Amino acid sequence: MSDARVVIDLDLPGPTISRHLYGHFAEHLGRCIYGGFYVGEDSDIPNQGGIRLDVVEALRELRIPNLRWPGGCFADEYHWRDGIGPRDERPRMVNSHWGDVVEDNAFGTHEFMALCEMLGADAYVNGNVGSGSPREMSEWIEYLTREDDSPMAALRRANGRDEPWRVPFFGIGNEAWGCGGNMRAEAYADLARQFSTYVRDHADNRVTRIAAGANVDDYAWTDELMRALGDLSEQAAPFQAISLHYYTMTGPWDAKGSATSFTNDEWYLALSRAYRIEELLTRHATVMDRHDPDRRVGLVLDEWGTWWDVEPGTNPGFLYQQNTLRDALVASVHFDAFHRHADRLVMANIAQTVNVLQAMLLTDPDTGALVRTPTFHVFAMNAGHQDADSLAAHVIGAEERSVDGRDLPLVHASASRRGDTALVSLSNLDADEARTIVLDLRGAELEGWNGTVLTAGDTAAHNTPDAPEAVAPAPLEGVRRGARGLEVDLPAHAFATIELALA
Ligand code: AHR
């Protein structure tokens, strides 16, 4: 096996990697909000206004840039007025998508915006098109962002919040082709124009309106939405971005496979499915380019991540799954693709932040103990890419493995630069073999480096309250100058970042 080479031109910066590519998603689903973010003011778990302080502290470590809420499918059943005012007077509802449980609306607009303020994150509020009205959406943005004594601003003040909040992102429904109303593309495209009209910019708040986009490879849906925008040189776009959803799955809905028990073949199949994001971003962007060559309209991957069978014994509607090194590498493969598509991809939100699907954090329902997952560590190790200039990283000579009719390169890489430092991300997807990767760095002098690696003895290694650091970052020792460049010894099934100090 010859060494793979990664050629990086350090003096040729590409588009900025928006920090919003490291965004998050919190739905009223299972134990994401209740038990995850929010435990109520009377909980023994340290909290502020009911919001868990340990969760906030952990997410601040990631420099969490934004948080999408309240769904997901839940968004198109949610009526925001049910979630304001005294908690004991808030109406209840049935959360029909997720476990058919009764939602008491204890966590609503004020709680969400307080959470965003504690996190230092931008709010991405997802409105209701499926069962809502333009008026309801219009009044929500007025309530959130209006300064003067308008009816909704006055109502907000009566509920204890004087200052308006800033809401830079607003979703115009969710998965309109499915749980958001089972619409055809043409019908939704018209509704997206209509509803967006009423999501006004109040005072100095400027909203990016995000239309509910395609599932996976439904390029016709993207095409229809772009067509609905009309001639962008002639008018302001009614919505400024369109979304895309892509989950990494290796089986049918009724047999998605275990999060923690899998064969080597299933390891490679998952990583091959994750790598498909490269093709999906390329092809959706190509459709968008046809209508919008100047790239005014953003692509927002506001749901991505792994979707496995729920942990045995947990509620099937709560989507609670463990998170292994495999999930970590699924994330690193996605981020490499995100960095390469930073010219069109303006935001991405992993599903979901706490206790649901590919989570950053898991909380124990009995003890409340908090665990950082392997995926958390990928977000942390990659945080230096946020708002840095992308650098092309050409991987040459990587071994490939044929998986399910597709070639999966076993080495992945991406890079960015900020002033006199560059950050290189490297993944070795080989389940069994360590390898040396040569960084061929051009266009700047290298003064020093600092490597960090995330790996473990077993591809299925994961963190639990009893072993919270079974998968945790460690210094990467095997980095040295060689005749061919900077040589990096990467263990099998490993993710690494190397920070370069440049002269
Ligand atoms: O993230 C879980 C669900 O997946 C979301 O509610 C929905 O939008 C998608 O189908």
pLDDT in the model for residue 87: 96
Domain membership flag for residue 15: no
Task: Let me know if 175 is a catalytic residue.
Answer: yes
Query: Looking at the predicted structure, is the pLDDT value of residue 186 above 90?
Result: yes
Domain membership flag for residue 364: yes
Whether residues 189 and 297 fall in one domain: yes
Query: Looking at the predicted structure, is the pLDDT value of residue 487 above 70?
Result: yes
State which residues form the domain around 425.
4-9+391-502
Across the chain, mean pLDDT equals 97
Domain membership flag for residue 14: no
- How many residues are there in the chain? 503
**Percent of the chain predicted with pLDDT > 70:** 100
Whether residues 352 and 483 fall in one domain: no
Final residue of a structural domain among 386, 420, 439: 386
Q: What stretches of 251-321 show up as alpha helix (H) in DSSP?
A: 264-291
Task: Let me know if 77 is a catalytic residue.
Answer: no
Closest atom of ligand 1 to 27 CA is 6
Q: Cβ(337) to ligand 1 under 6 A? A: no
Domain membership flag for residue 350: yes
Q: Cβ(73) to ligand 1 under 6 A? A: yes
| Angle between helix 374-381 and helix 325-340 axes, rounded to 10 deg | 30
Whether residues 254 and 353 fall in one domain: yes
Q: How far apart are CA 423 and CA 500, in angstroms?
A: 6
Is the torsion defined by CA of 417, 281, 233, 123 positive or negative? Answer: negative
Taking the centre of ligand 1 as the mean of its atom positions, its distance from the CA of residue 97, in whole angstroms, is 9
Strands (DSSP E) contained in 287-340 are 298-306
Whether residues 374 and 444 fall in one domain: no
Q: How many domains does the chain have?
A: 2
Residue-wise pLDDT tens digits, 104-129: 999 999 999 999 999 999 999 999 99
Query: Looking at the predicted structure, is the pLDDT value of residue 233 above 90?
Result: no
Average pLDDT of the segment spanning 66-78 = 98
Whether residues 149 and 253 fall in one domain: yes
Query: Looking at the predicted structure, is the pLDDT value of residue 474 above 80?
Result: yes
Whether residues 189 and 292 fall in one domain: yes
Whether residues 85 and 180 fall in one domain: yes
Q: List 400's β-bridge partners, or say none.
A: 409
Catalytic residue among 77, 139, 224, 303: 303
Query: Looking at the predicted structure, is the pLDDT value of residue 76 above 80?
Result: yes
Whether residues 317 and 423 fall in one domain: no
Strands 298-306 and 241-248, bridge-based pairing: parallel
**Which pLDDT band holds residue 181 (cuts at 50, 70, 90)?**
very high
pLDDT in the model for residue 1: 67
What's 164's domain CATH number? 3.20.20.80
Question: Do residues 172 and 239 lie in contact, with contact meaning Cβ atoms separated by under 8 Å?
Answer: yes
Residue-wise pLDDT tens digits, 272-281: 999 999 999 9
pLDDT in the model for residue 210: 98
pLDDT in the model for residue 425: 98
The token pair that represents 94 in the structure block: 């049935």
Question: Do residues 36 and 354 lie in contact, with contact meaning Cβ atoms separated by under 8 Å?
Answer: yes
Final residue of a structural domain among 386, 406, 432: 386
Residue-wise pLDDT tens digits, 364-421: 999 999 999 999 999 999 999 999 999 999 999 999 999 999 999 999 999 999 999 9
Domain membership flag for residue 475: yes
Whether residues 382 and 398 fall in one domain: no
Taking the centre of ligand 1 as the mean of its atom positions, its distance from the CA of residue 463, in whole angstroms, is 25
Half-sphere exposure of 325 (CA within 13 A, CB side): 29
Whether residues 30 and 106 fall in one domain: yes
Cα radius of gyration rounded to whole Å, the chain: 22
Q: How far apart are CA 161 and CA 351, in angstroms?
A: 30
Whether residues 151 and 30 fall in one domain: yes
Whether residues 117 and 216 fall in one domain: yes
| Contacts of residue 354, Cβ cutoff 8 Å, sequence gap at least 6 | 26, 31, 32, 36, 37, 55, 360, 361, 362, 363
For 501, other C-beta atoms within 10 Å of its C-beta total 13
Q: Is the peptide bond before 70 cis (omega within 30 degrees of 0)?
A: yes
What's 469's domain CATH number? 2.60.40.1180
Final residue of a structural domain among 344, 369, 386: 386
Domain membership flag for residue 344: yes
Closest CA to 178 of 241, 82, 125, 243: 243
Average pLDDT of the segment spanning 262-269 = 98
Tokens 């079974």: give the residue.
Answer: 470
Query: Looking at the predicted structure, is the pLDDT value of residue 426 above 70?
Result: yes
Q: List 88's β-bridge partners, or say none.
A: none
Residue-wise pLDDT tens digits, 235-248: 788 999 999 999 99
What secondary structure does DSSP assign to 206-258, as a single string?
Answer: --EEEEEEEETT-HHHHHHHHHHT--TTTS--SSSEEEEEEEE-SS-TT----
